[in-house]
A = this chain, B = another copy of it.
Amino acid sequence: MIRKYRIGNPIPTESVVTEIEITEGNIPFFTTDVEKKSLFLKLSESDRIWGLGETTRGMNKRGWIYISNNADDPVHTEDKRSLYASQNFFIVDGDDGRFGIYVDTPERVTFDMGYTRSSELVISFDDFDSDLYLVEGDSLKEIVRQFRKIIGKSYVPPRWAFGFGQCRWSYMSADEVREVADKYDEAGIPLDMIYLDIDYMERYKDFTVDDKSFPDFPKFVQEMKNRGIHLVPIIDAGVKIEEGYDVYEEGLSGDYFCKKENGENLVAAVWPGKVHFPDFLDEKAREWFGNKYKFLLDQGIDGFWNDMNEPAIFYTEDHLQEVFEQIEDYKGKNLDINSFFDFKGLVGSISNNSEDYKRFYHNYKGQKIRHDKVHNLYGYNMTRAAGGAFERLCPDKRVLMFSRSSFIGMHRYGGVWCGDNMSWWSHLLLNIQQMPALNMCGFLYSGADIGGFGADTTEDLLLRWTAFGIFTPLFRNHSAMGTRRQEVYRFEKTDSFRRLIELRYSLLPYLYSEFMKAVRDDEMLFKPLSFEYDDARSLEVEDQLLLGESLMLAPVYKQNATGRYVYLPEDMKMIRFRAYDDYDEEILQAGDHYVKAGLSEVLVFVRKGHVLPLAKPSKRTTGVDAAAAGLSYICYEADPSGYELYTDDGVSRIME
């Protein structure tokens, strides 16, 4: 049962697609404090909190404070309160009952999950204008299903997007991209995608290609496509200010850019230097920008990723000017504890400065609204611009799309990656822990940058992360310019990487089936153990996951470990894969086990009464035969015929 409540006069987010009548009165369970613009909820000692999408820390969100305030912050340490996304749905799960709540407002919302006082959950609002959806149901899964039903079906990518992809910020030319493809092919490692980061563009201008480093792009796209490799370029939010640049000129003449108070277009800066930001909240601008993807679609591109769409702002022209003036005050002085940090802070806080988000406005449904009031909707609507355009431009075909910034609602138009993570073992664990929370909020096509984006990876971290990544729908190795090169063929254990990635392709029928059924049935692909088992121990397991109907995963995420503890809520069949066709099976009894898992091995636990279909891998997803007859099956007290295999052509749009 879902009831809708309203506080104040919320700005619509269009994240919920089902019309629900507003229930008058206070929202049950919570105490409302209008003065504090807050809702209070008593927590009992054993209450757990699931959800909130892409946030820091563990699966159980209890004990920290989170702020929905989409942020371009690459250092995802435990103390961070905001990452790239605002996904305001969570479930309070107690031994005596449970309910979900969706806080549907674009404004800044603070979720104090028992941080200030361990016995109290407090939701605080900047403005106190919000719709609230209270979701009750018999089980955690049922609550999620109900919620997912009102926010609309999750985005479905083409099947090839379940292949493996390689990316790096600094593929500077077509030749360099070719070399990556060659090296993968030479090593016999499957690959379906190479991603193009900002370097393919002409001076970082959206919907351009640098024709010196990527000459005859359509031909190059075709060449790669002939090899079975999709090129997936990045699109940034900001449009470079440059006379004669068509996108800029069209934006100007169409009046599609965000405006300052005085009506002038905001001048901010990102990669290309000064840019204007398209007003993605304006339907007209959205349609215009969406149509620009045609420039690349026409060249054979069939997948994109949207970036810098919080929006990230290196600086605004106005603020930078102020900073330069203020710097003058510090010259020739004895800068001490206060003045020195003021000076450093002045420059250090130029980027993504919250005051800059108050310097510009949107035209949202005919109203002039200051950016900070709808900040969390910006990336969502950029991706919606693309998604809407794809429906018009290629109505028969799925286009790959995922985004860095997001908000619930965006899950209908694209997936997400977990942003600019680091080559940290703790971020492999974070990746594991974020998956179910993303799924709860509708984001099924998701994953993190395998091996870590920032900082230097190690071979063992990349092996362990790949061994988990083979299970995430978005399976991309990505790293930042200046860090250690991270393509798997650069390391000594190339064979191990090959076997891991082959196993991914072997799992494809299962992964694709489970993904498509999760979309169809509004289910989660990844679940914490607590969503299926209610014994006390299952409720606390933070480093294992259920994947689809058949599998439990227990990834190794600690350096130098050759095994790990695993908790089995029921008897399971453990598969220790060394390769898709080289594995041991062992029935393990319910309870605790310490299991060995070498650097090149993957553990998978098949649930009782369930089936894992396996295909013969191929170097491309298109080569993987997903017909039931072509598969082999690992079963645990089950029959292959009991498994519902989902197949389709992999590219046609799914009709709802």
Residues of A within 8 A of B (CB): 48, 57-58, 60, 62-65, 75, 77-79, 115, 117-119, 198, 203-204, 269, 271-274, 314-315, 320, 324, 327, 330-331, 334-337, 339-340, 343-344, 347-348, 350-351, 422-426, 454-456, 458-460, 492, 537, 540, 542, 558-563, 565, 567, 592, 594
Contact = CB atoms under 8 A, between A and B. Distances in A.
Contact of A559 (B63, B77, B334, B537): B63
B324 A340 contact: no
B78 A424 contact: yes
Contacts of A561: 540, 542
A335 B347 contact: no
Contacts of A77: 75, 77, 422, 424, 455
9 contacts: A58-B559, A60-B560, A63-B458, A78-B424, A273-B335, A344-B347, A540-B563, A565-B592, A567-B594
A79 B423 contact: yes
A313 to B, nearest CB: 11
A370 B456 CA distance: 31
B315 A340 contact: yes
A561 to B, nearest CB: 6
A561 B320 CA distance: 47
Contacts of A58: 558-560
Contacts of A426: 78, 426
Q: Which secondary structure characterizes the binding site on chain A?
A: loop
B334 A274 contact: yes
B335 A320 contact: yes
Contacts of A459: 118
Contacts of A348: 344, 347-348
Nearest to A564: B565
Given A115-B458, A336-B269, A426-B426, A559 B594 contact: no
A219 to B, nearest CB: 28
A527 B422 CA distance: 31
A94 B424 CA distance: 26
Contact of A78 (B115, B271, B425): B425
A63 B314 contact: no
Contacts of A458: 63-64, 115
Contacts of A455: 77-79
A565 B565 contact: yes
A269 B540 contact: no
Contacts of A492: 117-119
A425 to B, nearest CB: 6
Contacts of A347: 343-344, 347-348
Contacts of A567: 594
A600 to B, nearest CB: 12
A344 B351 contact: yes
Contacts of A592: 565, 592, 594
Contacts of A62: 559-560
A57 B426 CA distance: 11
A559 B335 contact: no
Most buried by B among A75, A336, A540: A336
A117 to B, nearest CB: 7
A458 B350 CA distance: 30
Contacts of A65: 456
A330 B327 CA distance: 12
B327 A314 contact: no
Contacts of A351: 344
A559 B314 contact: no
A72 to B, nearest CB: 14
Contact of A63 (B334, B340, B560): B560
Contacts of A558: 58, 542
A92 to B, nearest CB: 14
Contacts of A198: 337
A537 B563 CA distance: 9
A339 B348 CA distance: 15
A559 B57 contact: yes
Contacts of A320: 335
Contacts of A560: 48, 58, 60, 62-63, 540, 542
B327 A340 contact: no
A63 B460 contact: yes
Given A57-B559, A64-B458, A343-B347, 7 more contacts: A60-B559, A62-B560, A78-B424, A274-B334, A344-B347, A344-B348, A347-B347
Nearest to A339: B273
A456 B64 CA distance: 10
A561 B539 CA distance: 10
A523 to B, nearest CB: 25
A543 to B, nearest CB: 9
B422 A79 contact: yes
A584 to B, nearest CB: 19
A324 B565 CA distance: 56
Contacts of A339: 273
A78 B327 CA distance: 34
A315 B344 CA distance: 11
Most buried by B among A330, A458, A562, A592: A458
A429 to B, nearest CB: 10
Contacts of A336: 203-204, 269, 271-273
Contacts of A324: 327, 330-331
Nearest to A341: B314
B335 A269 contact: yes
Nearest to A481: B337
The 6 closest A-B pairs by CB, nearest first: A273-B336, A79-B455, A273-B334, A347-B347, A78-B424, A271-B337
Contacts of A331: 324
A351 B424 CA distance: 25
A493 to B, nearest CB: 8
Given A79-B455, A79-B456, A592-B594, A340 B57 contact: no
Most buried by B among A118, A351, A558: A118
A409 to B, nearest CB: 30
A615 to B, nearest CB: 32
Contacts of A327: 324, 327
